Amino acid sequence: MRARSPASEVTKRPAPALAPALTPHGRLHLAAAEDSPTLPGDVDERLREAFDRGAGHGLLQLGAGEIATALPAVFSYWRELGSLFVTAL
């Protein structure tokens, strides 16, 4: 049996902090942002999964699923927009 060298071991890097961002075409998505505060693991995971499905799913998660969650200001802005949309429906 061969011993593994430290260089050959897979190291797990923490996922980069995310922040909502608009593309030049006006599409909302999550993008890596070094200056963004990190979200708790379960919130981060839920938002990643929702935005992976699409911007609408991400806004719905923010506006309906994360109402009571303490979020950084950049997420709070989009949560408010999502909650206005949910309320209008």
Domain boundaries, the chain: 41-89
pLDDT digits (tens, 9 = 90+) for 44-77: 999 999 999 999 999 999 999 999 999 988 899 9
Q: Can you give the pLDDT at residue 3?
A: 54
Best CA proximity match to 48, nearest among 18, 24, 21, 26: 18
Best CA proximity match to 78, nearest among 25, 26, 61: 61
Q: How far is CA 69 from the centre of its chain?
A: 13
Residue type, 24: P
Q: Where are the beta strands (DSSP E) in 3-48?
A: 18-22, 28-32
- Whole-model pTM above 0.85? no
pLDDT digits (tens, 9 = 90+) for 3-47: 555 554 555 555 678 899 999 999 999 998 888 788 887 999 999
